Structure 1
């Protein structure tokens, strides 16, 4: 199972009045982690979109555990939690500069045709992606 890492330098504008990263920014960081994972697997979202396929979020969850503050560097770890050929769930952990677990979360996605939002089979439309996802998803034991 591949676990991708993305370092993020916290910008002042991402914090709230308490100097803590504002909660909605973690969702953006999850997207950055997901994009990094896809790149680490050798693919690009842009290629999928050029083929007329989108990957909207169908569910997202985040549990906040410790604060991340300005000007720390956060680490986002991302992996494929579940994959069935149509739907994919990515898992996330965000760590603060002290290495403490700051957030756990997941996002679920389905690939759809851009023209009508009907789901497609990744297995059929993007066999290389399918193979990489099958190979790198979390082992269900």
Structure 2
């Protein structure tokens, strides 16, 4: 499996009064991880949007383990956890500046036509993306660490 790595410098605006990253910012970091993964695989999500296709989140899970604090660099690891040609589940791990696992999560997506929200088959409409996702998902490698 291909694991994308995105380093994020924690900004003051992302924290609460205790200097801890506010919980909703992890969802933004998950999006940054997805974007990095797509780029690592040689694609650009914005080009898909220009063709009138979007990929909304239909489910999201997050489990918070340790805090990430202002002044640290967070590391977001992202991979394709499940993929069936229509739906994609991305897996995430976010680590704090000490290397502790701060969050585990997943997000489920489906590609739809922007104007009608009718689902489309990635396999049929974007065969290159399909092949890259199948390849990235199939490679054996641990996501941990």
Match of 1:42 in 2: 42
State the shift of 1:138 in Å: 5.3
- 1:90 equivalent to 2:90? Answer yes
**Unaligned stretches of 5+ in structure 1?**
none
- 1:22 equivalent to 2:8? Answer no
Instruction: Give the alignment's Cα RMSD to 1 decimal.
Output: 1.1
**Unaligned stretches of 5+ in structure 2?**
141-145
- 1:2 equivalent to 2:25? Answer no
Match of 2:143 in 1: none
Is the 8 Å Cα contact of residues 2 and 139 (structure 2) preserved in structure 1? no
In structure 1, distance between residues paired with 2:52 and 2:12: 37
In structure 1, distance between residues paired with 2:40 and 2:25: 23
- 1:13 equivalent to 2:13? Answer yes
Q: Normalising by the residue count of structure 2, what TM-score does the alignment of the two structures yield?
A: 0.94
Match of 1:107 in 2: 107
Is the 8 Å Cα contact of residues 82 and 138 (structure 1) preserved in structure 2? no
- 1:33 equivalent to 2:36? Answer no
CA displacement 1:79-134 (0-9 Å, x = unmatched): 00000000000000000011100000000000000110000000010000000001
Structure 1 stretches of 4+ with a deviation exceeding 6 A read: none
Q: Normalising by the residue count of structure 1, what TM-score does the alignment of the two structures yield?
A: 0.97
Match of 2:128 in 1: 128
- Matched position secondary structure for 1:20: coil
